[in-house]
Amino acid sequence: MIEDNYRQRGLRNKLVKKLRQKGILDEAILSAMGKVPRHVFFDEALLSHAYEDKAFPIGEGQTISQPYTVAFQTGKLSVKPGDKVLEIGTGSGYQACILLELGARLYTIEYNRKLFEKVRDFLPAMGYRPYFFHGDGSRGIPAKAPFDKIVVTAGAPVVPVALTDQLAENGVLVIPVGNREKQTMVRLTKRSLTTLLLCLCWEKADGRVRSRYLFF
């Protein structure tokens, strides 16, 4: 049984307050962040850090993303109830839960076999039931395309063409692009089969998010 006590709910509420202070103002996203018990994704040794706004290791060389990053990226995705969403990189399953709380019909793919098997069993026990897939996320899931929204949880050097090909018209892809030292959150909107609207989003030293839009 998953424990979610008064103290943990209180810490989660404090995290939501911090996210609001950092500029996350979408009430649906804040509500989702306030519902999903992040501590259940942590090993016992790191449990006391579950509601810090930081990324932490989850094994297999992977991390559970910083809550602000999850909220910011999810906000750029603009998920509506009923949207068919593809998540590249299931990881711990935390962001999948947030997307499901927002009403997404979620397809999630994970490359690491151990993480895939762990999350495939764990999330349904929490009451979350996305469609699970194991494989190379950069190829997407062509058999299930098109998708209204695609989110990539880990950085990539370029935007995989296979993913833009699997977007529905007016579909949105959000992906961090760059190297280990520097990444830019990219939002692509597929206006037609031949036109993409590119939004580059980055955070300045003052904490404000800047954006630039390009058509190609």
Residue pair 25/36 in contact (Cβ under 8 Å)? The answer is: no
Nearest to 152 by CA among 78, 45, 74: 74
Nearest to 157 by CA among 173, 176, 135, 174: 176
Instruction: Check 65, 92, 192, 211 and give the catalytic one.
Output: 65
Q: How far apart are CA 116 and CA 140, in angstroms?
A: 15
DSSP line for 166-180: TEEEEEEEEEEEE-S
| Amino acid at site 169 | E
Q: Active site includes 138?
A: no
Residue pair 76/139 in contact (Cβ under 8 Å)? The answer is: no
Catalytic residues: 65
